[in-house]
Structure 1
Amino acid sequence: MYNVLLTGSTGFVGQHLIPELKDDYVLSYINRSDNGYPNQHIANIDADSDYTRALKEINVVIHCAARVHIMAEKSESPLDEFRAVNTQGTLNLATQAARAGVKRFIFVSTIKVNGESTTGRAPFNEQESAPEDPYGISKAEAEQQLLVLGKQTGMEIVIIRPPLIYGKGVKANFASLMSLVNKGFPLPFRAINKNKRSLVSVYNLVDLIKLCIIHPNAVNQVFLVSDDHDLSTAEMIQLMAKVQGRSNLALPVPPTLFSLAGSLLGKKQVVDRLIGSLQVDITYTKNTLNWAPPYSVEDGFKFSAKN
């Protein structure tokens, strides 16, 4: 039985991973504070922490912990803050893992490594890297350094780039939209029906991570992941209404009005995420690993509605 070390165990993905792994693997954890887990090691993900005890007899590291998007960023240098955890912290953990004899290091990255939008272009693929924000840049730099480390040490590197992750217990915009639809608010999104966005339910992401623990073809690869069923904003609202047994009361406000409002209010990037496209091509992932998402996008929305 493999010994697996998980970081970010109290995060959204980590909490869904644990029940799927605990029966097949001996699990250990790195957490910032005591959360009552067995085999727990208290440490920060940074350039200075010593993970020697945590890495003893570990075969596989699944690295989910990260500094993610901060809504009210107060740092004078956000990129430095993101790099401290996502780049330098990741490399420190991976370097010590290689030294300890860890066979495989699975890094949960982000589609932001590819960029922010596919409006007017083909879906992203796994060979591209054009990050635009500090979070994406820090993750891209970590990916590059991990692949170099893998070549130098022989430790197997697996990189997974998910787009928006959702499921039971999700927070932020997805949860807010689901709640508004459930309360019967008439959202102005019916006419936003030409864009396409890739999503991934946490259930499909967890299934892929589990496969990457053991699959021989995953070695030193970058994989994109999604539910393999992209939705427009209007379709997303319609499906949220369907799984909650509500009428779709969305109003047909033209996307051009959103663009105008975004320009006037200085919220262009926010509006672009609402009316624009962000698609990923998971053909390489499916073919390389002989994998397909086991849960449909409707399944994922149904599970999310059970919050």
Structure 2
Amino acid sequence: MYKFYKKISQVLNISFSFLILISDVPVKELGSGEGSLKKILVIGGSGFVGRNIIPELSKYYSVSYLSRSECKRLKDLGIQWIKGDIRNEEDLGIIKEFDIIIDLVAVINEKMERHHDVNVIGMHNIITNARRESRIVYFSAMNANIGRTRYFVTKYQAENMLMERGNYTIIRPSIIFGSDDYLTKMLLDLKLPFIPKSGRLCPVYIGDIALLMPRLVELDGIFEISGPEELTLKDMYSIIRRIRGKGKVYGVPDILVYPFIPFLPITREQLYMLKMDFCHGKEIWKRFSMEPSKYSETMEKILKGG
């Protein structure tokens, strides 16, 4: 039972960090400055979102990424890696050289001090070092403006710092999924047919995000985005088990989860986040005449090698 709840905690840890949008700016017009490509620095680029969106961005921009460790996939593509930590202001002095800075860094299962260091101090370090005319693109979180957890509160603090500064794009995503995201891996690894109940999660496919990102990075304002299907965590797990020829999935009520919290690597805050609605960003697809990928169909292609 402990291993089951531990895996559920790991699932929750990856679920709420990311997602993206689109713009009506033609791609061919993007990335061009006066005779040269605009320069983008992706902070936290070695993570799941970064290593999937950077290859597409590099078609239209001169892209580098800053992270504590290098990503082999990006190295093989010849993408420049800059070693650094968002919490260390000295490491971010180099961002003065870039026209657009994208902040993908996020942690969920951490103490308040770590949330503050990554989200608030990290944003302070970016704003302090970026040129005034440089655009900052911030991956926040859907519900950051209404959530009460430490993760949401510090994300929203970072948003407010950026809005006060100006020249920004703020993205509040639902859940991003793909062939190599941690949530999908955890659901694939689960053996028991039980999963905590959740709110509507509306996952968005990383492949769609990668195609949209070159247009999104030069838009002004705050954007929320979610996928087309209103699914719970149970629904997502059920889809995976069905594709793999497994049996039915059962939702675990809170009354069975809460007694184990003191003994498990999971918090009430994480359960609270899981209960929230992550589907209030679907209208963006109609605005830009896009047809987003459905979780059920896309996962079937991924798992069957399509």
Q: Which amino acid aligns with 1:46?
A: R
Which of residues 171, 175, 185 is equivalent to 2:185?
175
Partner SS for 2:279? coil
The answer for the alignment partner of 1:278 in structure 2 is 277
| Residue pairs, 1:296-307, within 5 angstroms | 296-302=294-300, 304-305=302-303
The answer for the alignment partner of 1:106 in structure 2 is 137
The answer for the alignment partner of 1:125 in structure 2 is none
Identical pairs, percent:
20
Partner SS for 1:84? helix
Which of residues 12, 19, 25 is equivalent to 2:55?
19
Which of residues 113, 130, 144 is equivalent to 1:97?
130
Which of residues 197, 200, 209 is equivalent to 2:201?
197
The answer for the alignment partner of 1:63 in structure 2 is 103
| Residue pairs, 1:160-239, within 5 angstroms | 160-171=171-182, 173-180=183-190, 185=191, 187-188=193-194, 196-214=200-218, 218-219=219-220, 221-239=221-239
2: distance between equivalents of 1:305 and 1:178?
A: 10
Task: Give structure 1 stretches of 5+ with no counterpart.
Answer: 114-128, 151-155
Q: Which amino acid aligns with 1:295?
A: S
| Residue pairs, 1:68-83, within 5 angstroms | 68-70=107-109, 73=110, 78-83=111-116
1: distance between equivalents of 2:184 and 2:270?
A: 14
1: distance between equivalents of 2:279 and 2:250?
A: 27
Partner SS for 1:160? strand
Residue 243 of structure 1 deviates from its aligned partner by: 3.7
Q: Which amino acid aligns with 2:189?
A: S
Which of residues 25, 45, 55 is equivalent to 1:9?
45
Q: Do the aligned partners of 1:224 and 1:280 also contact (CA within 8 Å) in 2?
A: no
Q: How many residues align?
A: 259
- Report 1 or 2 for greater relative contact order, CA contacts < 8 Å, sequence distance ≥ 6: 2
Q: Give the TM-score, by structure 1 length.
A: 0.72
Q: Which amino acid aligns with 2:138?
A: F
Q: Do the aligned partners of 2:40 and 2:61 also contact (CA within 8 Å) in 1?
A: yes
Partner SS for 2:204? strand
Task: Give structure 2 stretches of 5+ with no counterpart.
Answer: 1-36, 262-266
Root-mean-square deviation (CA, aligned residues, Å) is: 3.1
Q: Do the aligned partners of 1:166 and 1:304 also contact (CA within 8 Å) in 2?
A: no
What do the CA deviations read for 1:129-149 (whole angstroms, capped 9, x no partner)?
A: 123222221111000110000
What do the CA deviations read for 1:52-93 (whole angstroms, capped 9, x no partner)?
A: 43431x221111123x023xx5xxxx2222112211211221
Residue 285 of structure 1 deviates from its aligned partner by: 3.2
1: distance between equivalents of 2:120 and 2:270?
A: 26
Residue 179 of structure 1 deviates from its aligned partner by: 3.1
Q: Which amino acid aligns with 1:198?
A: C
The answer for the alignment partner of 2:20 in structure 1 is none
CA pair 108-291 structure 1, distance change in 2 beyond 3 A: farther
Q: Give the TM-score, by structure 2 length.
A: 0.72
Q: Do the aligned partners of 2:142 and 2:278 also contact (CA within 8 Å) in 1?
A: no
The answer for the alignment partner of 2:170 in structure 1 is 159
Partner SS for 1:89? helix
Which of residues 146, 156, 159 is equivalent to 2:162?
146
Partner SS for 2:138? strand
The answer for the alignment partner of 1:294 in structure 2 is 292
1: distance between equivalents of 2:101 and 2:51?
A: 16
Residue 237 of structure 1 deviates from its aligned partner by: 2.9
Partner SS for 2:63? strand
Which of residues 131, 135, 147 is equivalent to 2:151?
135
Indicate the larger mover: 141-150 or 222-231: 222-231
2: distance between equivalents of 1:88 and 1:270?
A: 23
2: distance between equivalents of 1:281 and 1:84?
A: 29
Residue 45 of structure 1 deviates from its aligned partner by: 0.6
Indicate the larger mover: 5-14 or 228-237: 228-237
1: distance between equivalents of 2:236 and 2:69?
A: 37
